[in-house]
Amino acid sequence: MAESERAPRIDHVDFLDLLHLEPHGPDTYVGIVARYPWGPRLFGGQVVAQALRAAIHTVDPLKVAHSLHSYFIRPGSPDEPVRFEVERLRDGRSFSTRQVVARQSAGAILNLSVSFQVDEDEADVQLATLPDELLRPDDPSLVDYSWGHLIDRKAVDVAADRLGYWIRLDADIGDDPVAHMCGLAFMSDAAPSRPGRSPHPDFTGLPPDRQKFIGASLDHSLWFHRATNVNEWHWFDMHSHGLNGGRGLVSGEVVTESGVHGASLTQEVLLRRKRES
């Protein structure tokens, strides 16, 4: 790809442009890409958010996504657009299910399943809350892990196996609930990697730790409980379940600064110690 045709850096991309998918045949869409600070790989959260948006295009608007499950198959490239192929697995009276395969020229980069449900007038009980002594995002002692001009992210270490982030999307996306849901999917992949590294004997908790390891997201699941505004700070309360075989499992809850439990998530991460060449 010529220099003039290269994808823009994420600093210069409007989030709604990422969500704008061009139709390319029945239930097939193409989305733009961006370049991220860490080099020649797409951010997995971008691909998940776009795949979710593609699935939403094929579902009755009265049905809202309540969960998604995805596998990252190979790294995405910022040198070409991503093609999203949606399969309509089922449309029932209450639920609909979609499968989305995201592809580039090298092959499939993501496989995602999404389940949708009509709104039901049933009990709404929230158990997750913000920790009592949790430092707020405006606390000057927090380490800033933000990147680009799209993700604001600040780390909080609650316990040895419980590391979290305050995260919000720094983008004007209006009041469209679909855009905010996709924004939450985008943000959710920015939370698990550091907690996933935390049990490793070489982990210190400092920013240079990232240079010690080769890591990637392997699979990612997200459950949507309540609508939230992604321009508000969200507390990603992440808990590590340990490491084995170069893989670590992380799970957590997402609660807004105003106290709304918006989502829950799990992710398995790849974690390999860099070896001397």
Catalytic residues, which ones? Answer: 189, 217, 267
- 269: helix, strand or coil: strand
E strand spans, the chain: 22-23, 28-31, 63-72, 82-91, 95-104, 107-118, 143-144, 151-159, 162-169, 213-224, 234-244, 247-256, 261-273
CA angle 262, 37, 175 (to 5 degrees): 35
Q: What angle do CA 79, 80, 83 make, to 5 degrees?
A: 150
Residue matched to tokens 């939370």: 191
Structure tokens at 104: 């580039």
* Type of residue found at 109: I
Q: The tokens of 50 are what? A: 């776009």
